[in-house]
Amino acid sequence: MTALRDTATRLSDQFLAALNQNDVAGMSQIVAPGYVQHNPEVPGGREGLLSWMASMHIAFPDFMVERLDMIVDADRLVVRHRVSGTHLGEFLGWPGSGRSFVMHTAEFFRIADGVLQEHWDVWSPQGMLVQLGLPVEGGLFTTFG
Amino acid sequence: MVRTDTPDRQQLIDLLHVFVRVTNGHDAQSLGLCIADQYRQHNPYAAQDLSGVIDYFVMMFTAFPDMHAELLDVMVDGDVISARCRVRGTHQADFLGFAATGRQFEIITVDYFRYRDGLFVEHWDVISVLELLVQLGVSPHESQQFLSTAKLNPSEEEEK
């Protein structure tokens, strides 16, 4: 169990470091090529995660994700994140507005072979859009699930 | 928090199922079967203690008479259990001052509970009140205005 927790902690640390710096090489080291993505707003696979990460840094140059806490159970972990950013570049087709968002999310991962293999999350698309002053009607985001 | 021993995994899972059964049965007065009197809430909008949880669920069951949570996923780590749920309800009575709209909400939530001596004693969650209000058709402006004034636990960070 300790070894599993160590692996989970290391992967979470590396995930956050890579995500916050838009570090393609760092992210590629810890995410399986066939990464299964259950968030419908993010393209599938490792390549999809990398392109989403890049787009977030364009839209929110100060994009920042911090870990609040973590639960580890066998081959899975769930991390609560505090996510924030200021909308300065294009996001979903909308030009930067200077408005910012802060939200808490829960990120679930499955680990195998020492890397992240699968991802589910819980977050609020509408809450993010409201904070950014973007329209919440009309389905820019699909319903998450 | 002083821990006397590490609980058995199954004890946490069994207690979570009690919580789900009680809440899906809309039996708020039975929440004491799974929630400690001095229940510590980390959600800035949630009132402390068992009495606060009972008041919250009574309010929700009144506003959303068909409210139902579907347990999607459970994880256990020592004395903490996480539950990922799909929660649905139809807005049929006053909710936080917003009159019934007849609209439905569907949100995914995560709850963490800390277990001690047969009860849940502490709670964290990821739930977006803003998401819920927007789905009910409350305007973004009104939703944000509401959230800015509704905090019960000012020491906790706002979950936007």
**CATH code, domain carrying A42:** 3.10.450.50
User: How many domains, in total, are found in chain A?
Assistant: 1
| CA distance to partner chain B, nearest, from residue A74 (Å) | 9
Answer yes or no: is A144 within a domain: no
B12 by Cβ neighbours in 10 Å (0-12 / 13-18 / 19+) ranks as buried
Please tell me the predicted confidence (pLDDT) of residue B4. Answer: 56
Which residues of A lie inside 8 Å of B (Cβ-Cβ)? 69, 71-73, 76, 78, 80, 82, 101-106, 108, 120, 122-127, 129-131, 133, 136, 143-145
Whole-number Å distance between alpha carbons of B43 and B135: 20
Q: Do B106 and A143 touch (CB under 8 A)?
A: yes
What are the structural domains, with CATH classification, of chain B?
A: 9-149 (3.10.450.50)
Measured in whole angstroms, how far is the alpha carbon of residue A140 from the centre of its chain?
18
Answer yes or no: is A139 within a domain: no
**Do the Cβ atoms of A110 and A131 come closer than 8 Å?**
no
Low pLDDT (below 50) residues in chain A = 138-145
Whole-number Å distance between alpha carbons of A8 and A77: 7
Q: pLDDT (tens digit, 9 = 90+) per residue, B1-57?
A: 555 567 899 999 999 999 999 999 999 999 999 999 999 999 888 889 999 999 999
pTM here is 0.90
Domain of A127, in residue numbers: 1-132
Per-residue 3-state assignment (H helix, E strand, C coil) for B93-133: CCECCECCCCCEEEEEEEEEEEEECCEEEEEEEECCHHHHH
Answer yes or no: is A138 within a domain: no
**Helix H or strand E segment including A73:** strand A64-73
Answer yes or no: is A57 within a domain: yes
Q: What is the mean pLDDT of chain B?
A: 91
Note the helical H segments in chain B: 9-24, 49-63, 129-135, 140-149
Answer yes or no: is A143 within a domain: no
Q: Do A106 and B130 touch (CB under 8 A)?
A: no
Whole-number Å distance between alpha carbons of B129 and A111: 31
